[in-house]
């Protein structure tokens, strides 16, 4: 197929100072939990993006000096020349496909506690570091500022020597010393580097000029700036300091990479923000500078991309998450295969990998982070190992991805589900407030398998052990999912909760099926991800009096990993949900529940006509267990049916099954590892 001429504009080369990008697809800096610790994995992931058509591929944050050591977060490093070879490999990999490669240099100042280097952190003014470490950053004097400029300059030279085409001066996300100087909120200095905007921007301007002086003849100089910190007049605002700053430095860099901060606003999830949400803040930038502008907003639609360029909002379509969910997004547009794009769902599971200091993972793209480790390519997969048939029971995320990938390999696949529609848990979860984009997980796979002559689907087909056996497939995969428990068993109460009948107990499955309590309700969230908070939203919207109880210290505590915790707790508070933290639910009786303080054990009763238990899910595995007795030649259970988990884990399980079928016994460690090395003494 060929490209739709409407999208030609996206494939125009764009000049950035001394270099030229082959097109307008720009993978902006993004963390990946691999960086310096898993450099082969990081390199292969970036190479795949370049292969998929991104005209510019950049690093994540690259530390320039041990005085700002962001451990245990695993970004890149250019502390000295010994760090050059790793990033040189990344540059070579990206250059293989004709893309430009960019390096986001950073000195994280008071955001880094220097847990590894044990150096004393530095900031514009004395301040405790982020993360609640018992560590303070010291106020920088003029010699510190001179040193920082020297480190930045030396790192820029190393980056050029590694092969980078674009060198960043990072002033975004309140994550860099340069941005701390800029911020009226953080900078309390009264010298030439504090006070007026001109003074606060002095270090930024100097770093830009130093970088240009050092490497500007061959490399483009980019600035990454948060034009609005979303903290009102205390911080930078896009109609105040942010705009003045762009006006002041308009022609100084070769490229403006603009966004909003902090990170939770820049990488807002679809639960809270629609695609394009940053446009209101950055629309004016192109009118102020003649230099190319890149911006982000979870853009996955080529029509939107074209209108952004045509309307003079952006020159480059920046993407972190859309490039993670589909590293081949540009190629698919180029080849006239727009409907094959695997669109990001805005869930931030990718961010959770980085926040947990492990390689990135993605709900939509099970190969993300596995490009080197498992040699999984997002588009290519080996042909079937034999002319065999596979019956998959259950068309949730696990079953659908298994069907899609097995279909791609050429197996004869039958996908059967008892429900009237495909989608499993997402049939109902996508209808929860803010989760509609999550439906893309099933929509994408349903479309893909609809194009495959070798994949058949059967709906409203609840299979029994007998019907499965009659089917006589060479391989049977059970992906029958899970159901929420109604007995309270979970982390805090491994033996369940005492329930005196006729107390009314509901689970999220009941609520999603339309069951509604009328009187006051207690939600007990021992799960800590999104479901408990969403149950509170749903019921509160119905005008029900809701008390949210959790043994955790925060509402939806794990959503800290997806950058949503603060937003979720604020939303519940705004909606008038009563919140009881650090409390267990010990007894449920008609009309009331008993809570116990997690610290003192003190008990109290709370009025509740109904209790919604969000504790754990139980596998729906009766079919699997019966078939296991029957001794089928090849029987496997995957996804929630094996052990309930995230949608990302179910998609991964389906994909993994499809990759490993016919492989025989897998080794104990079924992936390549980047082993620690004993250092040569010097
Ligand atoms: P996962 O997240 O692991 O993919 P889901 O819960 O999303 O699991 O999907 C499981 C699917 O399995 C549901 O669509 C459900 O209707 C289907 N299912 C469960 N038991 C049977 C059965 N015996 N026959 C056919 N389909 C079944
Ligand atoms: Fe998008 Fe979710 Fe994948 Fe991140 S994990 S890229 S937010 S689909």
For residue 462, the ligand 1 atom closest to its alpha carbon is 24
**Residues contacting residue 2 through CB under 8 Å, at least 6 positions apart:** 335, 336
Helical residues (DSSP H) of 30-116, grouped into ranges: 39-51, 84-95
Residue 361 lies in a domain: no
pLDDT digits (tens, 9 = 90+) for 596-641: 999 999 999 999 999 999 999 999 999 999 999 998 999 999 999 9
Based on the fold, state whether residues 611 and 652 are members of the same structural domain: no
Based on the fold, state whether residues 503 and 472 are members of the same structural domain: no
CATH number at residue 569: 3.50.50.60
Residue 384 lies in a domain: no
Query: How many C-beta atoms lie closer than 10 Å to residue 682's C-beta?
Result: 4
Domain extent for 308: 5-355
- Distance, CA 279 to ligand 2 centroid (Å)? 20
CATH number at residue 214: 3.20.20.70
Based on the fold, state whether residues 640 and 612 are members of the same structural domain: no
Based on the fold, state whether residues 150 and 25 are members of the same structural domain: yes
Q: Are 196 and 204 in contact (CB under 8 A)?
A: no
Q: What is the pTM of this model?
A: 0.97
Based on the fold, state whether residues 497 and 536 are members of the same structural domain: yes
Q: Are 540 and 575 in contact (CB under 8 A)?
A: yes
* Ligand 1 proximity of 654 Cβ (cutoff 6 Å): no
Check residue 1 and give its pLDDT: 81
* Ligand 1 proximity of 394 Cβ (cutoff 6 Å): yes
Check residue 664 and give its pLDDT: 87
Based on the fold, state whether residues 429 and 498 are members of the same structural domain: no
Mean pLDDT value across the chain:
97
Check residue 196 and give its pLDDT: 96
Q: Above 90 in pLDDT, residue 174? A: no
CATH number at residue 411: 3.40.50.720
Check residue 681 and give its pLDDT: 66
Check residue 676 and give its pLDDT: 87
Q: Which residues are catalytic?
A: 31, 170, 173, 266
Residue 379 lies in a domain: no
Domain end point (choices 338, 355, 372): 355
Virtual CA dihedral for 314, 164, 106, 345, nearest 10 degrees? Answer: 50
* Ligand 2 proximity of 325 Cβ (cutoff 6 Å): yes
Check residue 673 and give its pLDDT: 96
Collapsing DSSP states into helix, strand and coil, what is residue 233? helix
Q: How many domains does the chain have?
A: 3
Residue 260 lies in a domain: yes
* Residue ID of nearest Cα to ligand 1 atom 19: 480
Taken in order 159, 161, 164, 167, the sign of the CA dihedral is positive
Residue 110 lies in a domain: yes
Residue whose structure tokens are 């370049």: 50
Q: Regarding beta strands 617-619 and 482-484, do their DSSP bridges make them parallel or antiparallel, or are they unpaired?
A: antiparallel
Query: To test ligand 1's pocket by mutation, which of 363, 404, 424, 438 has the most ligand atoms within 8 angstroms of CB?
Result: 424
Residue 347 lies in a domain: yes
Residue 465 lies in a domain: yes
Indicate left, alpha or beta for 312 from its phi (over 0: left) and psi (-120 to 50: alpha). left
Q: Regarding beta strands 521-525 and 475-478, do their DSSP bridges make them parallel or antiparallel, or are they unpaired?
A: unpaired
Based on the fold, state whether residues 34 and 113 are members of the same structural domain: yes
Virtual CA dihedral for 59, 64, 65, 71, nearest 10 degrees? Answer: -20
Based on the fold, state whether residues 229 and 333 are members of the same structural domain: yes
For residues 103 and 45, give the distance between their C-alpha atoms in angstroms, rounded to a whole number. 15
Based on the fold, state whether residues 182 and 223 are members of the same structural domain: yes
Based on the fold, state whether residues 453 and 565 are members of the same structural domain: no
Q: Above 90 in pLDDT, residue 298? A: yes
Helical residues (DSSP H) of 70-138, grouped into ranges: 84-95
- Distance, CA 425 to ligand 1 centroid (Å)? 8
Based on the fold, state whether residues 170 and 31 are members of the same structural domain: yes
pLDDT band at 682 (very low <50, low <70, confident <90, very high): low
């Amino acid at each position: 197929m060929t490209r739709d001429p409407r999208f030609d504009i996206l494939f125009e080369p764009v000049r950035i100072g001394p270099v030229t990008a082959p097109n307008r697809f720009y993978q902006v800096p993004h963390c990946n939990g691999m960086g310096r610790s898993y450099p082969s994995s990081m390199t292969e992931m970036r190479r795949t993006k370049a292969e998929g058509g991104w005209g510019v591929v950049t690093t994540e944050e690259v530390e320039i000096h041990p005085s700002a050591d962001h451990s245990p977060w695993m970004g890149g490093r250019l502390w000295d020349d010994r760090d050059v070879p790793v990033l040189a490999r990344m540059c070579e990999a990206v250059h293989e496909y004709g893309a430009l490669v960019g390096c986001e240099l950073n000195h994280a100042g008071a955001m880094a506690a220097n847990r590894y280097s044990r150096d004393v952190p530095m900031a514009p003014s004395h301040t405790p570091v982020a993360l609640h470490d018992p560590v303070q950053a010291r106020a920088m004097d003029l010699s510190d500022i001179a040193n920082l400029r020297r480190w930045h300059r030396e790192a820029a030279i190393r980056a050029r020597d590694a092969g980078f085409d674009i060198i960043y001066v990072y002033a975004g996300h309140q994550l860099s010393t340069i941005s701390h100087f800029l911020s009226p909120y953080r900078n309390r200095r009264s010298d030439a580097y504090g006070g007026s905007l001109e003074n606060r921007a002095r270090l930024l301007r100097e770093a830009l000029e130093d970088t240009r002086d050092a490497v500007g003849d061959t490399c483009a100089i980019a600035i990454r700036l948060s034009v609005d910190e979303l903290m009102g007049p205390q911080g930078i605002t896009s109609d105040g300091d942010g705009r003045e700053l762009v006006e002041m430095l308009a022609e100084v860099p070769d490229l403006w990479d603009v966004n909003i901060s902090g990170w939770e606003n820049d990488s807002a999830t679809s639960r809270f923000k629609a695609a394009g949400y940053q446009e209101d803040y950055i629309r004016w930038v192109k009118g102020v500078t003649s230099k190319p502008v890149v911006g982000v907003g979870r853009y996955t639609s080529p029509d939107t991309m074209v209108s952004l360029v045509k309307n003079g909002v952006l020159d480059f379509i920046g993407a972190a998450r859309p490039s993670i969910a589909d590293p081949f997004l540009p190629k698919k547009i180029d080849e006239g295969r727009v409907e094959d794009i695997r669109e990001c769902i805005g869930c931030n599971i990718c961010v959770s990998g980085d926040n947990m200091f492990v390689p990135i993972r993605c709900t939509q793209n099970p190969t993300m982070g596995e490009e080197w480790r498992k040699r999984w390519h997002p588009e290519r997969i080996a042909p079937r190992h034999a002319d065999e048939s596979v019956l998959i029971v259950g068309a949730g995320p696990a079953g659908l991805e298994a069907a899609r990938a097995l279909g791609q390999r050429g197996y004869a696949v039958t996908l059967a589900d008892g429900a009237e529609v495909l989608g499993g848990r997402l049939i109902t979860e996508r209808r929860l407030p803010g989760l509609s984009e999550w439906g893309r997980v099933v929509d994408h796979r349903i479309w893909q398998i609809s194009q495959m002559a070798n994949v058949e689907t059967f709906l409203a087909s609840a299979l029994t052990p007998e019907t499965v056996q009659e089917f006589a497939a060479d391989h049977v995969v059970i992906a029958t999912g899970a159901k929420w428990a109604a007995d309270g068993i979970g982390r805090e109460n491994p033996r369940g909760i005492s329930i005196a009948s006729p107390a009314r107990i509901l689970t999220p499955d009941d609520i999603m099926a339309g069951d509604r309590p009328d009187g006051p309700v207690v939600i007990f969230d021992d799960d800590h991800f999104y479901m408990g908070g969403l149950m509170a939203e749903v019921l509160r919207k119905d005008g029900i009096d809701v008390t949210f109880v959790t043994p955790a210290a925060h509402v939806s505590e794990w959503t800290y990993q997806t950058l949503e915790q603060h937003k979720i707790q604020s939303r519940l508070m705004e909606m008038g949900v009563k919140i009881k933290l650090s409390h267990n639910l010990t007894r449920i009786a008609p009309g009331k529940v008993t809570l116990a303080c997690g610290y003192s054990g003190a008990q109290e009763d709370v009025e509740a006509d109904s209790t919604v238990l969000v504790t754990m899910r139980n596998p729906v595995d009766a079919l699997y267990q019966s078939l296991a007795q029957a001794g089928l030649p090849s029987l496997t259970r995957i996804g929630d049916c094996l052990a309930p988990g995230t949608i990302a884990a179910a998609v991964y399980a389906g994909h993994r099954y499809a990759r490993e079928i016919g492989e025989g016994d897998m080794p104990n460690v079924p992936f390549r590892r980047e082993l620690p090395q004993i250092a040569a003494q010097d």
